[in-house]
Amino acid sequence: TAQLNAAWARRFIDLATDVVTTKRVDLSELDRAIGDGDHGENLARGFAAANRAVQESEADTVGGVLKLVATTLMSTVGGAAGPLYGTAFLRAAKVSNVEAIDAVGVHTLLDAALEGIVARGKANAGDKTMVDAWTPAVEAAGEASAAGESPAATLRAAADAAARGAEATEPLVALKGRASYLGERSVGHRDPGAESSALLLDAAARAAAE
Ligand code: ADP
Ligand code: MG
Ligand code: MG
């Protein structure tokens, strides 16, 4: 039941940068089907810059690391995803400006991130956006933490729920963002932001399991 600290946050951003870089083409391909094809490039560029900023800083709380990521993503990632992820990381940072985070703290952090995304983008669950990955993730984290699971197991439950949530966007009609311009033609495609959200949460869970 090891608590999560700044070293975890640093490792999370390292693994997150790796995965969005590796999956850059896949993510942009998802975005090419229902958007403008830049989601992978946007995130690969943003996380590379964020990871550099983290490595160059001496941030020694989870919140300190996440805040640096937030400000870097906001200034380097354009489009919809930059402000959305930036706000998510900023809200998460505000509730994690402590040295160690337990499982309940993990749920609080993820819930704050989702609130930030919703405050910024005004999407509801089922609108075929990243909210459809984050909503089940937060719910799963709430259940795992209430059941007494470790922070790592709580993040794993959240990441797995996010992956299922991302997959479940495929039959949906997009109601927010660029994909909504396609209307019914967005059906049959996975939302790129939901997919990247699941990948980021998986990186967070893997970092916690190390
Ligand atoms: P852009 O659409 O500006 O090119 P990206 O391609 O980087 O930006 O990101 C697209 C993703 O952003 C979508 O797949 C979706 O998950 C997310 N998104 C777009 N609009 C919203 C919104 N209003 N609320 C939540 N998520 C959104
Ligand atoms: Mg795009
Ligand atoms: Mg774009």
Predicted confidence (pLDDT) per residue in 78-88, tens digit: 899 999 999 99
The predicted structure's pLDDT at residue 98: 86
In the chain, where the domains are located: 6-209
Going from the C-alpha of 138 to that of each of 105, 122, 132, the distances in angstroms are 12, 17, 11
Burial of 26 from C-beta contacts in 10 A (0-12 / 13-18 / 19+): middle
User: Could you tell me which residue, 2 or 34, shows the higher pLDDT?
Assistant: 34
Taking residues 96-109, report their average pLDDT.
Answer: 94
Q: Say what percent of the chain tops pLDDT 90.
A: 97
Taking residues 165-178, report their average pLDDT.
Answer: 98
Query: Residue 85: CA atoms inside 13 Å, Cβ hemisphere, count?
Result: 30
Q: Determine the atom of ligand 1 nearest the C-alpha atom of 42.
A: 7
Q: How far is the CA of 111 from the centre of ligand 3 (A)?
A: 26
Q: Residue 153 above 80 pLDDT? A: yes
Taking residues 144-173, report their average pLDDT.
Answer: 98
Q: How far is the CA of 78 from the centre of ligand 2 (A)?
A: 9
Q: Residue 8 above 70 pLDDT? A: yes
CA-nearest residue, atom 23 of ligand 1: 121
Q: Which CATH superfamily is domain 6-209 in?
A: DhaL domain (1.25.40.340)
Q: How far is the CA of 129 from the centre of ligand 1 (A)?
A: 7
Determine the Cα–Cα distance for residues 145 and 140; give it in Å rounded to an integer: 9
Taking residues 32-58, report their average pLDDT.
Answer: 98
Residues forming a β-bridge with 101: 4
Q: Residue 99 above 90 pLDDT? A: no
The whole model's pTM is what?
A: 0.98
- At residue 101, the 3 state secondary structure works out as strand
The predicted structure's pLDDT at residue 1: 63
